[in-house]
Structure 1
Amino acid sequence: MEEQVGRLLDDLDFPALYRGYTWRDDTWERGFLEILDLEREVTAAARSLALGLDHVQKIARRDDLLAPARIAVTLYIGSAPAYWLMLEPEETIQTVERQIRGLGPVCASKLLRFAVPQVFGTLDARLIRVFGRGDSGSQRYPLLDLAVEPSGDRWAIPAGQPGWPGEYGAWAGALQAVAGGLNRDEVSCPHPAGFAAAGLRSEGIWAAADVEMALSCYAAGVLRGEERKDSVTGAV
Structure 2
Amino acid sequence: MNDQTLKPSIKNRISDLIATCDFAELYRKYAWKRDVWQNGFPDICRLERGTGDAARAGTLSEEHLKAIARWGGLPGIERIRALAPIRIALFEDGKVARWVRENPENAIRVLGDQIRGFGPTYTSNLLRFAAPELFGAIDTRIVRAFGAGDTGHLHLLDLIATPVDGRWAILSGQQGWPGEYGTWTAILSYTAAELNAAGQPCPHPEAFISAGLRERGIWLDADVEMAFFNYASGKIQNIRRD
In angstroms, what is the RMSD of aligned CA positions? 1.3
Equivalent of 2:221 in 208, 211, 226 = 208
**Aligned equivalent of 1:93:** 108
Q: Which residue type is aligned with residue 114 of structure 1? A: F
Is the aligned partner of 1:36 residue 2:49? no
Partner of 1:203, secondary structure, is coil
1-structure distance, mates of 2:178, 2:139 = 13
Equivalent of 1:111 in 115, 120, 126 = 126
**Aligned equivalent of 1:176:** 189
Q: CA deviation at 1:156?
A: 2.0
Equivalent residues of 1:47, 1:78 under 8 A apart: no
**Aligned equivalent of 1:77:** 92
Q: Which residue type is aligned with residue 41 of structure 1? A: G
1-structure distance, mates of 2:165, 2:126 = 26
2-structure distance, mates of 1:7, 1:158 = 29
Partner of 2:39, secondary structure, is coil
1-structure distance, mates of 2:22, 2:165 = 33
Where do residues 160-171 of structure 1 align in structure 2 (5 Å cutoff)?
160-171=173-184
2-structure distance, mates of 1:79, 1:169 = 22
For normalisation by structure 2, the TM-score amounts to: 0.89
What are the Cα deviations for residues 110-132 of structure 1, in whole angstroms up to 9, with x where unaligned? 00000000000000111100000
Equivalent residues of 1:21, 1:217 under 8 A apart: yes
2-structure distance, mates of 1:8, 1:120 = 20
What are the Cα deviations for residues 56-84 of structure 1, in whole angstroms up to 9, with x where unaligned? 11001223211112110011113222223
Equivalent of 2:25 in 7, 12, 16 = 16
2-structure distance, mates of 1:118, 1:24 = 23
Q: Which residue type is aligned with residue 32 of structure 1? A: F
Equivalent residues of 2:162, 2:169 under 8 A apart: yes
Q: Percent identity?
A: 44
1-structure distance, mates of 2:41, 2:182 = 26
What are the Cα deviations for residues 189-216 of structure 1, in whole angstroms up to 9, with x where unaligned? 0000111211111110000000000010
What are the Cα deviations for residues 161-220 of structure 1, in whole angstroms up to 9, with x where unaligned? 111110000000000000000000010000001112111111100000000000101111
**Aligned equivalent of 1:149:** 162
For normalisation by structure 1, the TM-score amounts to: 0.91
2-structure distance, mates of 1:155, 1:65 = 19
Aligned length: 224
**Aligned equivalent of 2:3:** none
Is the aligned partner of 1:27 residue 2:36? yes
Q: What 5-or-longer segments of structure 2 have no aligned partner?
A: 1-9, 71-76
Q: CA deviation at 1:160?
A: 1.0
Of the structure 1 ranges 43-52 and 75-84, higher mean CA displacement relative to structure 2 is found in 75-84
Is the aligned partner of 1:63 residue 2:78? yes
Q: Which residue type is aligned with residue 120 of structure 2? A: P
2-structure distance, mates of 1:34, 1:66 = 23
Equivalent residues of 2:79, 2:116 under 8 A apart: no
2-structure distance, mates of 1:195, 1:159 = 33
Q: What 5-or-longer segments of structure 1 have no aligned partner?
A: 227-236
Partner of 1:171, secondary structure, is helix
2-structure distance, mates of 1:177, 1:151 = 32
